């Protein structure tokens, strides 16, 4: 089946659709007109090339995934843009990290100890960890590869 | 014969040519770090990202407030990578945290909170091992806290305090384990040897106070007056200190540095010396009494003086913990060999550092108590260490 023939067939189908009638595919007449192609298709179904099929399906999935990512990204971008409503100047939020970081300064820890002894120092170190947490990927190299 | 010696010579030449190549290839693999801090930083990165509840659970088991259960076992299993890094750091002498001294009192010390948590993980691991009946591994984990506490640092006062706190938790864990292993003479002999040799130097406040002195002297300068104001007003008495700082000038600052330096040097001499606790406490108290609260010079100097009396007491309590632990091992060893606890304290045991005399020994229904004979003058209390014997 040539590219030219394909286009003509598609044009016919479109014309029929534009004229108001539903495009209908006449399989029997197509089989009659393209006997060789039909047999080739049947032969492929009987002896499927697994590698090629996997490759094709892999490509198809990869293409689909890429398209999904693009659509998702566009969607999120648009949603984010419209959900925000009209642009207005935002006031910068208080830098939480800075104030939390102060809990770890020598002076702050020293003050905690002087005011409440070991218990207060321990509490402040605990609070520091609650704020920042023990950072961890918790992933071994084996799990990465 | 000639041919044989020729072969020998050529063999030696070949070997000498090959040797540098062979050793060069052996040197291709760089050595492991010799700075313990680098291993601890890796431990922080690999410690399990546990939620607050799990962290509290670990803290409670470490401090003996809660028993070992399945949940805490799972938590500790997730921290195995971090424990391995801490173990690798154990034998390293050097531990440089990369602390930014140039930032003075504003320098951040994020490693302290992490080290505190890692200490809890290690002690909880010790308790898990003990609950599995492996007392030797559990006690070894406690012994590991000696170098660990030294690594936490005695380079600033606050890291010294955290080091002492970490060490205290380890001693408390050891105190609870010694009694459980009281029937095992071999284990106790091993522990006796380890406590005498491998535990390492306890954290000592002198280096920390010297560094603190330099940081404070650097802060007491007119060009840093704004930072100093912030530091002083952070510490309370806002109005009073703001008023004094409004009067500050080069002359007052220079005088404040002199007073501060003299007092710190005198305090360091007391803390580094071998004075009995009571006498050292009295001398430090007298140093504080010299400072006039209405004089801007002495007020400024006093504001940056560390709580020296507390430092002295903390140092002494830590020494009491160490000595009571060593004495308890000897007492339990006596029991393991004779089948009963001694009626009186055996001779030659470590003494109570508060009084310089023997610990007061008392047998109880569950084991025995070692009580200090001197008083903690800060808290007006007597420290005692109870050992439950199985």
Whether A100 and chain B come into contact, CB under 8 Å, resolves to: no
In whole angstroms, what is the distance from residue B57 CA to residue B66 CA?
8
- In tens digits, what is the pLDDT along chain A, a chain of 145 residues? 444 555 565 556 545 544 444 445 566 666 676 677 667 656 554 444 444 444 445 566 666 666 666 665 555 544 444 344 333 343 443 333 346 677 788 888 888 887 788 888 888 888 877 777 665 444 444 444 4
In this prediction, residue B246 has a pLDDT band, given cuts at 50, 70 and 90, of confident
* Sequence-separated (6 or more) residues with CB below 8 Å from residue B336: B182, B183, B184, B185, B188
pLDDT for the residue A5: 54
The answer to whether the CB of B169 falls within 8 A of the CB of B122 is no
Distances, alpha carbon B82 to alpha carbons A128, B37, B52, B257, B317, in Å: 19, 13, 18, 44, 30
Contact across the interface for A125 and B49, Cβ inside 8 Å: no
A–B: how many Cβ contacts below 8 A?
Answer: 92
The distance of A91 to chain B (nearest Cα, Å) reads: 27
Chain B positions touching chain A (beta carbons under 8 Å): 44-50, 52, 55, 59, 78, 81, 104-110, 112-114, 116-117, 156-158, 161-162, 165, 215, 231, 234-235, 306-307, 310
Range with lowest mean pLDDT among A40-49, B117-126, B196-205: A40-49
Query: Are residues B55 and A125, on separate chains, in Cβ contact within 8 Å?
Result: no
Contacts of A125 in chain B (CB under 8 A): 112-113, 116, 162
**Among the listed ranges A32-41, B70-79, B184-193, B245-254, which one has the minimum average pLDDT value?**
A32-41
Residue A100: what pLDDT? Answer: 67
Is the distance from CB of B327 to CB of B349 less than 8 angstroms?
A: yes
| pLDDT, tens digit (0-9, with 9 covering 90-100), for B33-59 | 999 999 999 999 988 888 889 999 999
The ipTM (two decimal places) reads 0.70
Residue A27: how many other CB atoms lie within 10 Å: 9
Nearest to B44 among A106, A107, A134 (CB): A134
Coil vs helix vs strand at B385: strand
Of A104, A105, A111, the CB nearest to B113: A104
Lowest mean pLDDT among A44-48, B181-185, B237-241: A44-48
- Mutant choice from B49, B77, B119, B158 vs A, greatest count of A C-beta within 10 A: B158
Mutual orientation of helices A106-132 and B157-180 as an angle, nearest 10°?
Answer: 60
Distance of CA B360 to the CA centre of its chain: 26
Report the Cα–Cα distance between both ends of chain B, in Å, rounded.
77
Instruction: Give whole-number Cα distances, B159 to B41, B55, B165, B209, B218, in Å.
Output: 16, 21, 10, 11, 20
What is the chain A residue with the closest CA to B159? A106
Q: How many CB atoms lie within 10 A of CB A35?
A: 9
Q: Count Cβ atoms below 10 Å from residue B4 Cβ, excluding itself.
A: 8
Q: What is the pLDDT of residues B92-111, one digit of tens each?
A: 999 999 989 988 888 999 89
Question: How far, in Å, are B173, B332, B376, B386, B389 from residue B363 at the CA level?
Answer: 20, 12, 23, 10, 10
Q: Chain A: nearest CA to B348, how far in angstroms?
A: 33
pLDDT category at B341 given cuts 50, 70, 90 is very high
Three-state secondary structure call for residue A91: coil
Is A6 an interface residue toward B (CB < 8 Å)?
no
For the whole model, what pTM was predicted?
Answer: 0.71
Contact A111 B116 (CB under 8 A): no
A36/B349: higher pLDDT: B349
Contacts with A129 from chain B: Cβ below 8 Å: 55, 113-114, 116-117
Residues B255-286 pLDDT 10s = 999 999 999 999 999 999 889 999 999 999 99
Q: Which two tokens stand for residue A75?
A: 């969607």
**Greater confidence, B283 or B22?**
B283
Closest approach of B184 to chain A, Cα-based (Å):
35
* DSSP 8-class letter at B30: P
Please report residues of A whose CB lies closer than 8 A to that of B47.
134, 136
Assigned token pair, B310: 């507390």
Which spans in B47-156 are helix H? 52-62, 70-78, 80-89, 110-131, 135-152
Strands B360-363 and B367-371, by their bridges, are antiparallel
| Alpha-carbon B138 to chain mean position | 19
């Amino acid at each position: 089946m040539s590219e030219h023939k394909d286009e003509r067939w598609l044009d016919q189908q479109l014309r029929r659709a534009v004229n108001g009638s539903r495009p209908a595919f006449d399989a029997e007449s197509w089989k009659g007109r393209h006997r060789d192609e039909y047999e080739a298709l049947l032969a492929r179904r009987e002896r499927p090339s697994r590698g090629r099929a996997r490759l094709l399906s892999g490509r198809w999935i990869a293409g689909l995934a890429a398209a999904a990512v693009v659509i998702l990204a566009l969607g999120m971008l648009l949603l984010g843009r419209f959900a925000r409503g009209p642009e207005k100047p935002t006031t910068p939020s208080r830098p939480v990290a800075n104030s939390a970081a102060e809990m770890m300064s020598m002076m702050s820890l020293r003050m905690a100890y002087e005011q409440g002894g070991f218990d207060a120092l321990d509490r402040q170190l605990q609070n520091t960890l609650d704020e920042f947490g023990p950072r961890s990927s918790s992933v071994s190299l084996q799990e990465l590869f | 014969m000639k041919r044989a010696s020729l072969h020998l010579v050529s063999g030696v030449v070949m070997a000498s040519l090959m040797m540098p190549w062979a050793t060069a290839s052996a040197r291709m693999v760089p050595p492991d770090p010799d700075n313990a801090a680098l291993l601890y930083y890796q431990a922080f990165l690999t410690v399990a990202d546990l939620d607050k509840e799990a962290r509290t659970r670990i803290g409670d088991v470490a401090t003996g407030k809660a028993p070992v259960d399945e949940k805490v076992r799972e938590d500790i299993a997730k921290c195995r990578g971090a424990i391995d890094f801490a173990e690798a750091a154990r034998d390293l002498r050097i531990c440089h945290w990369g602390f930014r001294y140039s930032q003075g009192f504003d320098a951040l010390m994020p490693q302290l909170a992490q080290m505190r948590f890692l200490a809890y993980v290690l002690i909880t691991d010790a308790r898990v091992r003990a609950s599995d009946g492996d007392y030797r591994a559990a006690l070894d984990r406690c012994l590991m806290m000696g170098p660990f506490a030294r690594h936490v640092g005695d380079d600033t006062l606050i890291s010294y305090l955290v080091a002492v706190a970490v060490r205290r938790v380890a001693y408390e864990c050891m105190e609870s384990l010694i009694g459980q292993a009281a029937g095992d003479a071999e284990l106790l002999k091993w522990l006796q040897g380890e406590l005498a040799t491998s535990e390492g130097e306890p954290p000592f406040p002198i280096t920390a106070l010297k560094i603190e002195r330099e940081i404070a002297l650097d802060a007491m300068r007119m060009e840093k007056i704004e930072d100093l104001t912030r530091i002083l007003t952070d510490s309370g008495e806002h109005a009073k200190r703001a008023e004094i700082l409004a009067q500050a000038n080069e002359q007052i600052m220079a005088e404040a540095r002199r007073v501060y330096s003299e007092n710190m040097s005198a305090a360091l001499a007391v803390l580094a010396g071998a004075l009995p606790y009571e006498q050292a406490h009295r001398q430090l108290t007298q140093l504080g009494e010299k400072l006039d609260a209405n004089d801007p010079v002495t007020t400024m100097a006093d504001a940056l003086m560390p709580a020296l009396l507390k430092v002295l007491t903390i140092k002494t309590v830590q020494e009491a913990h160490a000595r009571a632990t060593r004495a308890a091992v000897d007492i339990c060893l006596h029991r393991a060999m004779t089948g009963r606890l001694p009626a009186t304290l055996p001779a030659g045991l470590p003494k109570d550092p508060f009084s310089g005399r023997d610990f007061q020994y008392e047998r109880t229904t569950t084991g025995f108590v070692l009580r200090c004979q001197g008083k903690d003058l800060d808290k007006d209390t007597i420290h005692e260490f109870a050992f439950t014997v199985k």
